Amino acid sequence: MNELKAEEAVFLQILLSLHYNSLLLTPCSCWIEKRVRKVGCTNCLQAELLCPQCWLNKHRTMPTHWALIWNAREQFFEKHDFCRVMKNATIGLGHHGQRCPEADPGRTFTLVESNGIHATAISFCRCKTADGQYGEPEFHQLLRAGIFPGSVREPKTGYTLGLLDYYREERNQGKGSAYNFVRVLQRMADPFFAGAVPDIYINFLAITRFHQNLDIIMRRGHAHGLDVPLPGEAKRPYPNRPIEFRGVLCAACPERGVNMPLVVNVPKHLVSLNLTLDGNFKANLFFKRDDGSDIALTDGKMYFPSQTEFEEIAKAYVVSEEDKEVPCKAHIGSIRHQGQVKYGNTALSGIIASACDHAVAGSFVDMLKGEAFALGTYAQREHLKHTNSPPHGLATATPTVFSYDSWCSFTVNLLKRAGTLFPTDIWLQTLLSQAEGQIPADHINGHGIDCQAIWQVVYFACRAHFHGETAEVIWAFLNPLGSSTRQMTGAARHDIINYVMDAWNTSKVLRQAELLADERIIALRLFELHMAVVEDLSKQHASEVGVWSRLSRTTTMSADGPQSVYQHESTTVLTIENVLASMVAEEREKMTREDGHEARSPVAAWIHEGMSVERQQVLVIALLASHREHPLQDTWMTITTLCNSLNLDLKKFREGQREIYPRLKLSALDVDEPELTAIQLPSYRMKHGQRLATGIDATDQDSHLREAEIKLRCTEASNGILAVRAASLALSAVRKARDLDYRGQAGITRSQRNLQKAELMKAFEITMYNRARAALVHLGHMAKDAVEPYPPLSHRDTRRKETHLHRAKGDSRLFDGTAWYLQSGVRISHAAVGSTLPPKNRVQDSEEDEPQLLTGTQTLKRIADGWIWLESLTKGQTLGAGKLAEYKKESDRVQWFRAEAEMYRWLEQYERKHAELMRVIERYRRDSAVWAGLADREEEQNSGCNGATVFARMQAAMYKRLEHNAKVIFKSAESGAHHDWVSATTFDELVSKIDGWRDEVFKWMDDMVRASTSRH
């Protein structure tokens, strides 16, 4: 912007200069006497100033360019239409822009182009035709000239095809209203006197709807007889689509006999049709005066059902009390209001949509009074009809998975509703009886505990990573249109929504290969990461894996509620008292035990005493900060007790210091603030610039003291990792106990205090670890920016997914620790502390050591590097016996099963994306072949080439190019292609290769399970 601003004066000078031409009133280049230059053009670039006749001759085929005619009286160039350049000038039809010799006088005509609305004149051709008529029908002549007529009989308004194409794209993408678009056209014609420009609004509404309907008919092949079998084929090109269906179907979703074989025997996740349902209350319709004369051009032929059928069902359906009394009391917003008059001045309260898992819309059904389940079942049926007309048999039916916000309630009477609403659609009832369902990932946390255990999407086998929220995606595209469509007639509203969502679907399908490739590489990366997590957890719990692997992953219901390996057992609930008792016992043991197994020398004993004093000082400082924020009597009593003990320990430590450092002046001691007394260990002296015990003049005692403190500090840091883990688990257990054990204000207050204590203890342990690490840095044992053997530690590094909570949104892209880095061959120095060190301080040994697996992905940005959960850093130590250790054991089991589920879902997702890409390629191939067949048939029927033939060949060529591009993407290693799978030439061969790879990639798991089983 600064660069442009600097040249502001130049821009202004040149822009103003365009309003004058130095050739004004000079002889024209035609050199005819008295013809001078005085007409310019607003639309031609670098236009030459011409005389009126030359300007007209040059613009015979460009009559929508505005003429700039010199106004001699008022001294400026004035904008005029083509017909006003000279008297009796008209736009001639039928003779390449020239006026027909037999033409009638010019007729006043309104011609609309993207540069404005032209009040012009047109002369039609009146040459005698072969059938004896004087000229073709006028609307024919306009169409052949590229002008879409505003009516059939005596058209007085016309629109250039370029304008209609532009408006179609602008409305489909920008959702702008027709009213505003027309007002812009008026101002483009005359910004000062727009009111004097012809008003085309009413006619524009009708023409744009009709034009887009024609465009869709052409692009779907129905103008070429798509529903008639091609030469050499017995069935229609798309045999199971409805007759005259004009919508766009997802290229990646299974369409038997079109983009995949009719009969296949493959894992369900490779061929399932995943559909989502969702309601939208912004696409509503106000009560409007509607005489019923308007008709929907797309009635029953795109995404909305037939209006006649809808009205019959709307009269008959009744919201049953069974559907209102739902089993899940925590998520009944969409159910509670079924059938209630709460939507004010709305004839229709919105729409309910069914979309596939690629966010391609399949059907819309109007909602009358709320998101009634009957209308959701109607939307399911309309979507499934698109590939079941006629329906498939059992051998060729596609397994279906539904996702809906209220699926737990929706599924209860699903078959009963379908049978009542559509008693003759036996195929629908059969398909729904075999379908599976789930609650979307973003909505399940609003449900009750039972629903979260039963309907959690990631715990269903052969489901891939179907989050079930794709119906929500289309609303962001459609919602801006609601302000316009709610004011339309019902017929126009259906047409416009159909057109706009068809543009959305088309965009999705044309870019589907690229979109699937992006999803494939993400699936591969996340599968590798989750497999590394499972492998590391399996090694940590090698003795239990054999037993765990034999447990059922299916959630079952019992008298005590859902039973699942993915949740904590209800019998293992820690109370706050259990947790705090464990923490106190661990703390006492830590303060009194001998660190290591060797007897300490007097020097080592003195250093250990100093470290214990430091620990008490830090704890007092933490308690004082807590007391300032939350003044409590018991906290102050604890501080007083600790200070008294600290004064005694300081006295003993300082006596030992006199023996070891007789010449070193003791630091100041304030008995009222003993926590501020300096502890003059070797690390403290070196930090403050005193004599370094590693110099050439160092005494034996200096070296001995330094080495002793290094050894003890290393032990302290190692134990500190375990202490932080224990404090983190304790905090997790306290949070669970707070939610489950206490009710009432007193219980809440008590649990909040204990939660504060647990948080304080965790922060205290983190501080102690970092102090131990800092001491090692001051002692010269490790560099300040080193991450081995003891990385810097922050609260983020302690993150671990809470196993007492249900799975949360986004858990698939979050990881507990960096075990997965190590298993992937990436050193902890590059991965484990990625969140702690600033980028400029991160260490890299070489380019090969960089974690290529994660570079540039969203996953890397969101990973919480909780490296403290690496067992390798705790040197085999475990938590002490008791409730806390029992809690961790169960937590580890739940963690293992959840990690395993994530791993398998991302593996299935990776496999599914290969299958979907192959279906996309086959769909493009089939579309290209169908268009080529339509072109051949058209050419044969007309004994030669015509416009319909050329259009069909253009469509065939475009889909052929899409097929080629999709094949390139399918085989691209950069998009995560499996080198062996992409060599498959058939769907069955792809499935065979996938099965073989699974055996290879999970060999480590089979070996581990066998080894664990043999031990048991």
> What pLDDT shows up at residue 893?
86
> What pLDDT shows up at residue 336?
54
One-letter amino acid identity for 718?
A: S
Alpha carbons 972 and 967: distance in angstroms, whole number: 9
- Confidence class for position 357, pLDDT limits 50, 70, 90: very high
Residues 870, 872, 877, 878: is their CA dihedral positive or negative? Answer: positive
Q: Are 437 and 404 in contact (CB under 8 A)?
A: yes
> What pLDDT shows up at residue 582?
52
Q: 551-603: per-residue pLDDT in tens?
A: 888 888 887 778 888 887 644 444 444 444 554 455 445 445 444 444 455 77
> What pLDDT shows up at residue 213?
96
User: Which range has the worst mean pLDDT, 242-251, 409-418, 445-454, 868-877?
Assistant: 868-877
What's the angle, vertex CA 147, arms to CA 143 and CA 150, rounded to 5?
90
Q: How many CB atoms lie within 10 A of CB 585?
A: 14
- Confidence class for position 686, pLDDT limits 50, 70, 90: confident
Q: Are 122 and 106 in contact (CB under 8 A)?
A: yes
User: Which range has the worst mean pLDDT, 137-141, 368-372, 500-504, 928-932?
Assistant: 368-372
> What pLDDT shows up at residue 786?
83
312 burial via Cβ count (<10 Å: 0-12, 13-18, 19+): exposed
On the question of a cis peptide bond just before residue 789, with omega within 30 degrees of 0, the verdict is yes
- Confidence class for position 705, pLDDT limits 50, 70, 90: confident
Alpha carbons 779 and 784: distance in angstroms, whole number: 11
Alpha carbons 4 and 847: distance in angstroms, whole number: 41
> What pLDDT shows up at residue 170?
94
890 burial via Cβ count (<10 Å: 0-12, 13-18, 19+): middle
How many CA atoms within 13 Å lie on the side-chain side of 1000?
6
Alpha carbons 1000 and 848: distance in angstroms, whole number: 26
Which distant-in-sequence residues (6+ apart) come within 8 Å of 408 by Cβ? Answer: 326, 327, 328, 331, 439, 447, 451, 454, 455
Alpha carbons 147 and 140: distance in angstroms, whole number: 9
Q: What is the mean pLDDT of residues 482-490?
A: 91
Q: What is the mean pLDDT of residues 238-246?
A: 96
From edge to edge, which strands make up the β-sheet containing 436-438? 361-367, 350-356, 273-280, 400-404, 436-438
User: Which range has the worst mean pLDDT, 184-198, 339-353, 944-958, 989-1003?
Assistant: 339-353
- Confidence class for position 437, pLDDT limits 50, 70, 90: very high
Residues 174, 178, 184, 188: is their CA dihedral positive or negative? Answer: positive
- Confidence class for position 443, pLDDT limits 50, 70, 90: confident
User: Quick one: which of 1005, 608, 579 has its CA closest to 751?
Assistant: 579
Which is more confidently placed, 784 or 873? Answer: 784
Q: Say whether pLDDT at 972 is over 90.
A: yes
> What pLDDT shows up at residue 852?
31
- Confidence class for position 813, pLDDT limits 50, 70, 90: low
Q: Say whether pLDDT at 779 is over 70.
A: yes
How many CA atoms within 13 Å lie on the side-chain side of 198?
18
CA–CA distances in Å: residue 737 to residues 239, 563, 762: 60, 20, 17
> What pLDDT shows up at residue 825?
35
Alpha carbons 795 and 247: distance in angstroms, whole number: 52
Which distant-in-sequence residues (6+ apart) come within 8 Å of 283 by Cβ? Answer: 350, 351, 478, 479, 481, 482, 485, 486, 497
User: Quick one: which of 266, 354, 248, 433 has its CA closest to 916?
Assistant: 266
The token pair at 582 is: 């464990």
Q: What is the mean pLDDT of residues 234-259?
A: 96
Which is more confidently placed, 6 or 320? Answer: 6
Q: What is the mean pLDDT of residues 763-769?
A: 88
Alpha carbons 776 and 769: distance in angstroms, whole number: 11
User: Which range has the worst mean pLDDT, 65-69, 138-142, 854-858, 949-953?
Assistant: 854-858
Sequence-ordered strand ranges (E) for 470-544? none
Q: 126-143: per-residue pLDDT in tens?
A: 998 888 888 899 999 999
What's the angle, vertex CA 723, arms to CA 720 and CA 727, rounded to 5?
140
- Confidence class for position 444, pLDDT limits 50, 70, 90: confident
- Confidence class for position 445, pLDDT limits 50, 70, 90: confident
Alpha carbons 5 and 367: distance in angstroms, whole number: 53
Alpha carbons 448 and 467: distance in angstroms, whole number: 19
> What pLDDT shows up at residue 812?
64
Which is more confidently placed, 572 or 13? Answer: 13
* 893 three-class SS: helix
Q: 615-655: per-residue pLDDT in tens?
A: 888 988 988 888 888 888 878 888 888 888 888 888 888 88
Residue % of the chain over a pLDDT of 90: 47
Q: Say whether pLDDT at 722 is over 70.
A: yes
Provide the mean pLDDT of the chain.
83
Q: Say whether pLDDT at 838 is over 60.
A: no
Q: What is the mean pLDDT of residues 777-784?
A: 88
> Could you give phi then psi for residue 122, rounded to 5 degrees?
-130, 140
> What pLDDT shows up at residue 733?
64
Sequence-ordered strand ranges (E) for 281-369? 285-286, 346-348, 350-356, 361-367
Q: 844-864: per-residue pLDDT in tens?
A: 333 333 333 322 222 323 333
User: Quick one: which of 857, 934, 927, 174 has its CA closest to 512?
Assistant: 927
User: Which range has the worst mean pLDDT, 556-565, 600-609, 986-995?
Assistant: 600-609
Q: 210-222: per-residue pLDDT in tens?
A: 999 999 999 999 9
Q: Are 246 and 301 in contact (CB under 8 A)?
A: yes
> What pLDDT shows up at residue 78?
95
Which is more confidently placed, 883 or 963? Answer: 963
User: Quick one: which of 167, 247, 180, 173 has its CA closest to 207?
Assistant: 167
Alpha carbons 85 and 59: distance in angstroms, whole number: 11
One-letter amino acid identity for 918?
A: M
Alpha carbons 491 and 801: distance in angstroms, whole number: 51
In which residue are the tokens 């059922």 written? 552
Which is more confidently placed, 686 or 154? Answer: 154
Alpha carbons 403 and 470: distance in angstroms, whole number: 9
> What pLDDT shows up at residue 739?
54
User: Which range has the worst mean pLDDT, 17-26, 488-497, 713-722?
Assistant: 713-722
The token pair at 591 is: 């303060």
> What pLDDT shows up at residue 488?
92
Q: What is the mean pLDDT of residues 45-59?
A: 95
Q: pTM of the predicted model, to two decimals?
A: 0.77
For 462, left (φ over 0), alpha (ψ -120 to 50), or beta? left
Q: Say whether pLDDT at 458 is over 80.
A: yes
* 889 three-class SS: helix
Alpha carbons 437 and 419: distance in angstroms, whole number: 19
One-letter amino acid identity for 893?
A: R
Sequence-ordered strand ranges (E) for 675-830? none
> What pLDDT shows up at residue 828?
31
To which H or E segment does residue 429 belong? helix 426-434
CA terminus-to-terminus distance, the chain: 73
How many CA atoms within 13 Å lie on the side-chain side of 288?
18
Alpha carbons 415 and 431: distance in angstroms, whole number: 10
Residue % of the chain over a pLDDT of 70: 82
Alpha carbons 393 and 429: distance in angstroms, whole number: 13
User: Which range has the worst mean pLDDT, 33-37, 601-605, 826-830?
Assistant: 826-830
Q: Where are the domains of the chain?
A: 21-89, 107-219, 246-510, 569-802, 891-1015
What's the angle, vertex CA 854, arms to CA 849 and CA 857, rounded to 5?
145
Q: Are 555 and 564 in contact (CB under 8 A)?
A: yes
Q: Which of 661-665, 844-848, 921-925 has the highest mean pLDDT?
A: 921-925
Q: Say whether pLDDT at 791 is over 70.
A: yes
- Confidence class for position 868, pLDDT limits 50, 70, 90: low
Length of the chain, in residues: 1016
- Confidence class for position 436, pLDDT limits 50, 70, 90: very high
